[in-house]
Amino acid sequence: MNILDEIIAHKYKEVAERKELYPVKLLEKSLYFETPCLSLERYLLRPDKSGIIAEIKRKSPSKGDINPYVSVERTSIGYMQAGASALSILTDSNYFGGKNEDLTIARKFNYCPILRKDFTVDEYQIVEAKSIGGDAILLIAAALESARLKELAAFARSLGLEVLLEVHNKEELDESLNEHVTIVGVNNRNLKTFKTDIGLSFELAQYIPQGITKVSESGLSQAQSLVDLQQAGYNGFLIGETFMTDSRPERAAAAFIKELRQLQELKQQVA
Ligand SMILES: O=C(O)c1ccccc1NCC(=O)[C@H](O)[C@H](O)COP(=O)(O)O
């Protein structure tokens, strides 16, 4: 069993327990949220922004502890002041040390799109994502049958949430892309070996249809890589570890984004 299968099996159990503890009845058209979502897609396409989705990640299966006592308030504000386009908040507790409260804190202190980064397998988690202040959810192609993924995507959209569809290869992309998905993320991390290879983003870029916003995820540690990925058509860059391994992640993000802007300016001057 690879790590994703293990996480997903655990997630089904966790959601079943939560449903029992805090039941929510889903009756058709009975859910209505007054607060509109902020569009992750729109923010990623804004030319004045870096395209970076800066992640808060306390630990991970591949790295173990990264920054377990991070201040979500200070880091999320700092990320946005540094020029991030959006935030990604890992709310999975067992494998990533996150919690829903991390997202509510980030929501309280920031006006920006927030990706609720979790392993979504059930409508219950989508209602939860919206209730705690998320603007977008992640759906992982490798974790869901394509018909089920489509149902969950449609449900998320009905609540105003955007969907980031994560793929690891062309087959997943071809099978899972549907009309409810506007953002596709290529995960550069091989979940069997944990190795990251941004070559995968370059390879898959050509297969992602025009009009879909492209995000490169994981293993991004060099500002120059973002410039090259932008050239290949990517609008978004999901970055966790590169920032979180610094004791002040927001400081690492500021230095990274400053370098990115310098490289972008240099490229414009040369062109
Ligand atoms: O990061 C892991 O070890 C991991 C293992 C199993 C499933 C998912 C995992 N990571 C989730 C992510 O998608 C990353 O946190 C995100 O793309 C940022 O990656 P990075 O910049 O490499 O921290």
Alpha helices in the chain (DSSP H): 3-21, 40-45, 72-82, 100-109, 123-131, 146-158, 170-176, 199-205, 223-231, 241-244, 249-270
Measured on CA atoms in the order 201, 53, 249, 227, is the torsion positive or negative?
positive
d(CA 251, CA 243): 8
pLDDT for res 84: 98
- Please work out whether the CB of residue 105 comes within 6 Å of at least one atom of ligand 1: no
Residue 94 appears among annotated catalytic residues: no
Which position among 11, 117, 130, 214 bears the catalytic label?
117
d(CA 139, CA 29): 22
Which tens digits make up the pLDDT trace of 22-47? Answer: 887 766 555 556 678 999 999 999 98
Nearest CA to ligand 1 atom 12: 218
Residue 55 appears among annotated catalytic residues: yes
Of all atoms in ligand 1, which is nearest to the CA of residue 60?
A: 3
Which tens digits make up the pLDDT trace of 44-58? Answer: 999 889 999 999 999
Residue 221 φ/ψ, nearest 5 degrees:
-125, -5
- Please work out whether the CB of residue 160 comes within 6 Å of at least one atom of ligand 1: no
Identity of residue 175: E
pLDDT for res 119: 98
d(CA 174, CA 208): 9
Mean pLDDT of the chain: 95
Strand 213-217 to 183-187 pairing: parallel
Confidence of residue 198 (pLDDT cuts 50, 70, 90): very high
- Please work out whether the CB of residue 102 comes within 6 Å of at least one atom of ligand 1: no
Nearest CA to ligand 1 atom 7: 4
Q: How much is the ipTM here?
A: 0.98
d(CA 213, CA 41): 7
Residue 178 appears among annotated catalytic residues: no
Tokens (6 digits) for 184: 């596709």
N residues, the chain: 271
Ligand 1 centroid–CA 211 distance in Å is: 26
| Residues forming a β-bridge with 97 | none
Confidence of residue 70 (pLDDT cuts 50, 70, 90): very high
- Please work out whether the CB of residue 138 comes within 6 Å of at least one atom of ligand 1: no
pLDDT for res 28: 59
Share of the chain above pLDDT 90, in %: 90
Ligand 1 centroid–CA 96 distance in Å is: 9
Q: Are 216 and 228 in contact (CB under 8 A)?
A: no
Residue among 131, 126, 134, 130 nearest 152 (CA): 126
